[in-house]
Structure 1
């Protein structure tokens, strides 16, 4: 009885597996495309359109990288961080969160 159930299960899985079969060979969507321009001509057209403002130079994602100029030197900042770390070690841990 178990052998019959096993064969039945194998047959069901084989039938279900064939339902998900895919095309064996990948065909690119642009497989038949042939360009009439050379790469240099395309680059020239792109540069001309960019100079005329006909295309977007880049997509804006809202994340502008603007760096603020500091007024202190690197040595001053390091000295401040060292002094801060030393003062935190010496005091009570609650001093970090609660001021008297």
Structure 2
């Protein structure tokens, strides 16, 4: 019985291993591509398209580094945080996290 299970397991692993086989040599998708334009011509076309507004100038990712201006000093904000932590202290909590 164990021999049958062992043979079945080897057959399953061999089939699974061949399912994940990969190509042995990488072939770039653009390996046979030959450009008809020079690098300068491509850059000129890109600049012309940008001037005409035909391409996106900048992709917005939502991560702007613009900070909101504050009217309060750092000491005022810290004092408010300490006061809030003291007023809302929850039972047996480590004071390190609440500025106490």
TM-score w.r.t. structure 2 length? Answer: 0.54
Larger RCO of the pair (alpha carbons < 8 Å, separation 6+): 2
Q: Take 2:75 and 2:51, find their aligned partners in 1: how far apart are those partners?
A: 44
Instruction: Kindly name which structure, 1 or 2, has the bigger radius of gyration based on alpha carbons.
Output: 1
- CA gap of 1:16–1:57, structure 2 versus 1, over 3 A, is same
- Give the alignment of 1:10-29 within 5 angstroms: 12-13=11-12, 16=15, 19-20=18-19, 21-29=21-29
Q: Take 2:17 and 2:76, find their aligned partners in 1: how far apart are those partners?
A: 71
Note the C-alpha offset of 1:55.
0.7
Which sections of structure 1, spanning at least 5 residues, go unmatched? 95-100
Deviations 1:5-63 (A, max 9, x none): 378437734762575243321211111112233434433322221122111223456x4
Which sections of structure 2, spanning at least 5 residues, go unmatched? 92-100
